[in-house]
Amino acid sequence: MSQFPATQKLFSREDGTPLRAGDLFQNPDYADTLELIASKGEEIFYRGEIADEIVDAVQNSPTSPGILTLSDMERYRPVTRKPVRTQFGPYSVFGMPMPSSGGATLALMLNIVQARGTDDLEWGAPDTFADLINIQNLAFADRNFYMADADFIDVPVEGLLEQSYANERGKLLNNSMPIKTPIAPGKPKGSTEHDEVGNLAPESPTTTHFCVVDKDRNVASITSTIEQHFGSAITVPGRGFLLNNELTDFSSRATNKDGTLVANRPTAGLLPRRTALGEAAQSLGSKRPRSSMSPTIVLKEDQPFLAIGSPGGSRIIGVVFNAVLNTIVFDFSLQEAVNAPRVISRNGTPELESPLYRNESLRAALTAKGFPVVDAQAAGSVQAILIGSDGWLEGAADPRREGLALGY
C-alpha cells in the first residue's frame, strides 16, 4: 500500500505505522461521501463530482494508470436480471444469474443430486462424499465451458437446468467411483458445436456475504466483492473508498492451447444488455467478468425458508452446495450445517477441509477408490438465516471467518 498514499494513510496510524488490533478505525471521508450521495442521489456518483474523482484516481494511478473514462461511468448500469431457479423436492432454489456462474452451477449440482437420489446419502460416508465430489466436478465441467456474460456469450442456461439434462449427466456416476478429471462438458439443449470454450480463471476468496430477513419476512441474500485484499489498492483521495480489482475475474488468456476462444475472455466493444430487465434492456454495455458469487434464497412450498451465501472465490459454489445439502438433505441444524467440514471439487483434485482430511479412515477409503484428495484450508464463510415453519428465525455465522448473527 506504500505505493498508494491515500490508501496507506487510510489504513495507518497517525505516525504512518499500520493499524493494529484494538485501534479505532475512523473514515470521515467516507461518511462525507455517503452524505453527499444521500443528499444528491446516485447521479453524483455516476455523472457528478464523485465520478470525476474516480476517473482521475484511475487515470493517475502511480503504478498502472488505467483507461477508465467519464463516458464509462455514465454508461454503467446496475442491471436487474431474472434469477436462476430450480426445484429440489418441495424447495424452490433461487440464485444469481450470469455473469455470475454461481446460481446456474449450484442449480445443476442440486439437479444431479436429484437424479442420483437422496435416500441413501449419509453425511460423512465415503460413498456419499465420493458422489458429491463427482457431482461438483460434473457441474464445473459445464460451468467452465459454457458460462460467462450472457450479454456477450450464448449460454444455454435453460438446457443446463433441465432435469432431463441432469439425469443424463447423473448416469456418469458409477458406484461412487471417480470420474476422471478434467471431465468433458455435456451437450445441453441450446448448445452448439461452436460454443466457445472457457477455462477456470482464479478468483480471490476475499469477498463478503450477509443475509437479512425483516419483520415482514422480506429476504435479502447479498454477496459483495472488491476481488482481493484492498481491491486494486487505489483509494479515491478524499472519498474514503477503495476501487475494486474485479476485471481480474476475466480469463487471463483469450484462447486455449488449441486456439479455441475462451468464453470468459475480455471482449472489447458495447452490446445490448440482452439479459437485462426494464429500462437497462434498452441500453448498451461492456462485457462483465464471470464470478462465482452464489447468494441464494430457498422457498419451501412457496414460503421463505433459507437465505444463504458465502465468500470464497470459485469455491463459493461448492461451499454453498455443501451447506444447502446439510440443511435440506442431511437435516442438520443451521449452525451445524454451516460448521460442518466441507468437501470441494472444481473439475480437478478434490479438497477436504482439514477435519475431514485428518479422518484417516475416510481419506483412506477415498484414496482407495482413486480420488487424489488434498488437505484444504478453511473454505468459505457461510452466513445464513433459516425461517422456521413457526415463523421463528435462526441465524448462523461461520466460525471460519469473522461474522455475527444478530436479531432484534
Q: d(Cα 11, Cα 27) in Å, to the nearest integer? A: 9
Q: 18 lies in a domain? A: no
Asked whether residue 94 falls in the same domain as residue 67, the answer is no
- Shared domain for 29 and 130, answered yes or no, is no
Tens digits of residue pLDDT in 161-172 = 999 999 999 999
Report residue 253's pLDDT band, with 50, 70 and 90 as the boundaries: confident
SS3 297: strand
Domain end: 75, 96, 116, which one?
75
337 and 199 in a common domain:
yes
Average pLDDT over the chain, rounded to whole?
93
Residue 147 lies in domain: 81-408
Q: What is the pLDDT of residues 56-74, one digit of tens each?
A: 999 999 888 999 999 999 9
Question: Is pLDDT of 323 > 60?
Answer: yes
What span, in angstroms and rounded, lies between the C-alpha atoms of 79 and 315? 25
Q: Would you say residue 282 has pLDDT above 90?
A: no
Per the residue annotation, which of 128, 207, 223, 327 is the catalytic one?
A: 207
pLDDT of residue 229: 85
Per-residue pLDDT tens digits for 210-246:
999 998 889 999 999 998 889 999 999 999 999 999 9
List all residues 6 or more positions away from 14 whose beta carbon is below 8 Å from its beta carbon.
none
CATH number of residue 398's parent domain? 3.60.20.40
> Is the model's pLDDT at 202 over the cut of 70?
no
pLDDT over 80 at 352, yes or no = yes
> Could you write out the DSSP letters of every residue in 129-158?
HHHHHHHHHHHHHHHHHH-S-TTTS---HH
Position 360 in a domain = yes
Whether residues 318 and 400 share a domain: the answer is yes
**Is 176 part of any domain?**
yes
- Written as nine digits, the cell of 99 is 455473469
pLDDT band at 261 (very low <50, low <70, confident <90, very high): confident
367 catalytic? Reply is no
C-alpha neighbours within 13 Å on the C-beta side of residue 213: 24
